[in-house]
Structure 1
Amino acid sequence: MATKGWASKVSSISSRIYFFLIILQIPLFRISCRSGMCTTPIEVTSSQLIASEVFPSPFVKALLYPGAIVHGLIKDRTFPRWSDLLDLYNLTTVKEASPVVDLQRLEVLAGSYFCVAGAIVGILKPGRMSMFGTLLVIWGLVKEGMLGKPVNTDPVRGVYVYPTMILALICALSSIKYEVKKAMRSAPARPIAKPVERSSKSKLK
């Protein structure tokens, strides 16, 4: 019982830390996106949502606003206006931007979706979505940064990974620790095969 309680606490704390890393838009990486340069999964996700018009702009603004408040207080101690959020994140012209940028970085785009969704869902119930998203983003960054796919000749717009990405990965992995143990404990035990007893006829022979 003590081990179960400890694992549950670790999972809960990790999920909350991961949630704040994503929602407060702590920089995890730097990569080109439709809005210019994105440093968080929410920025990548928001640029794609605005461009594709899958969700209305108020939904995207709701994702951006917590991080915008934190950044505004840190930079100039002001609250950003709700109406200026799209301009603040350079999202007013993403519809005219070429979709090739996102198509070349599908792993980062898909991983960012999972990171954002996993952070929100993980507050209620920790799961594996955050882990899948973080691993996808890391693979996309490694593919572009180390393998050179797609090729980038501009060092200013090159891929960069912040040390906070390691913290995000640790939190994503730790948040599923309790689920894995629970699944192992709830797995049905396999019956042990018993040796076949010899019949009475064979004994008489």
Structure 2
Amino acid sequence: MATPSSSSRGWTSNITSIAACVYFFLIILQIPIFRVPCRAGMCLTPIHVTSSQLIASEIFPVAAVKALLYPGAIVNGLLTNRTVPSWENLLSTYNLTSIKEASAVTDLQRLEVLAGSYFSVAGALVGILRPGRMSMFGTLLILWGLIKEGILGKPVNTDPTKVVYVYPTMLIAVLCAFSAVKYDVKKAMRNSPARPIAKPMPSSSKAKLR
């Protein structure tokens, strides 16, 4: 018969795995969670932001970036016009063909969104095998970058067509990112070092009474 502690750990593990899977599909299938100016124009997903940087910096092969974009492109193509996008024209679909000539100032002004997108994509991929804190860290960075621009007005945006917008799906991303973090309270308490018991000094009054 399962003990309450083991059943609690199993329930927590299931919640963590489900949250990691939901976060994975939310990122990989490119469900819009924000709208922010980027080197490719207007980016709606962390993968779009990440891909524009990877293509511009030539860190990863173009085929690897296309493989990252293709699952979401297929879903978007089937939902919009019921067609599967072409592998050869994938970069033009995301406005990434001339990304190297685009100005990097837009992304440099939003470093939190850029760094958070990297962590979110990496966390979604790694989280399927081993859920961790990378997704949570990336989501919080994106959220802070969007809040900073929306509330504090940094950087200043005078173009109404490039207004930053947060979709309701951001709430799902935040909840899944936090729920995917596995934390064992009992293990943490067991691994914490025991506090040493303070002993009175030999010259103290307590030592003399002994």
TM-score (norm 2): 0.89
The yes-or-no answer on 1:60 pairing with 2:65 is: yes
Name the residue aligned to 1:128: 133
Q: How does 1:78-93 map to 2 (within 5 A)?
A: 78-93=83-98
Q: Compared with structure 1, are the counterparts of its residues 33 and 163 closer, same or farther at alpha carbon in structure 2 (3 Å cutoff)?
A: same
Query: What is the identity percentage for the equivalent residue pairs of Structure 1 and Structure 2?
Result: 62
Name the residue aligned to 1:42: 47
Identify unmatched segments of 5+ residues in structure 1.
Answer: none
Q: How does 1:1-205 map to 2 (within 5 A)?
A: 1-176=6-181, 178-181=182-185, 183-188=187-192, 190=194, 193=197
Q: Compared with structure 1, are the counterparts of its residues 151 and 11 closer, same or farther at alpha carbon in structure 2 (3 Å cutoff)?
A: same
1:127–1:179 CA contact under 8 A, matched in 2: no
Q: How far apart are 1:87 and its partner, in Å? A: 0.5
1:15–1:123 CA contact under 8 A, matched in 2: yes
1:154-198 superposed Cα distances (whole Å, 9 cap, x missing partner): 12210000000000000000000x2353652542362573877x8
Q: What RMSD over aligned residues (CA atoms) do the two structures have, in Å?
A: 1.8
Could you tell me which amino acid in structure 2 is paired with residue 51 of structure 1? Answer: A
1:31–1:159 CA contact under 8 A, matched in 2: yes
Could you tell me which amino acid in structure 1 is paired with residue 29 of structure 2? Answer: L
Q: Compared with structure 1, are the counterparts of its residues 182 and 90 closer, same or farther at alpha carbon in structure 2 (3 Å cutoff)?
A: farther
Identify unmatched segments of 5+ residues in structure 2.
Answer: 1-5, 201-205
1:106-154 superposed Cα distances (whole Å, 9 cap, x missing partner): 0000000000000000000000000000000000001111111110011
1:111–1:136 CA contact under 8 A, matched in 2: yes
SS in 2 for 1:110: helix
SS in 2 for 1:62: helix
